[in-house]
Amino acid sequence: MTNRFNIVPGRGPNKFDFMMALFDRAKGSRTVEFVLKECGKNPVSVVITRIEWEGGHEKWLFKGWFHPGGTMVEGYYDTQGRCGFIDQIV
């Protein structure tokens, strides 16, 4: 079962920060923040563990978990429009 959350357009990380969340592990896990339509104006933090090219320009599939909490998530993110969705795996 999953719960889907929609990322408010323009309220997710830029491409550099999104990719650095996966590759910059010098100080442990690095998080990125998304503002979700269903969660009000407060951003949620996500640790990114995997990014795959979705096939379109600037479009990505990702996996990770909410931080804190550790709930597994996967989603779709367009780094050009800074929009997409996050599915919480329950």
pLDDT tens, residue by residue, 2-21: 999 999 999 999 999 999 99
Confidence label for 30 from pLDDT (cuts 50, 70 and 90): confident
Output the CA–CA distances (angstroms, integers) from residue 68 to 5, 47, 52, 71, in the order listed.
17, 9, 24, 8
Q: What is the mean pLDDT of residues 34-51?
A: 95
pTM: 0.91
Take residue 49 and report the two structure tokens written for it. 């563990």
Question: 38 in the Ramachandran plot: left (φ > 0), alpha (ψ -120 to 50) or beta?
Answer: alpha
pLDDT at 29 over 90: no
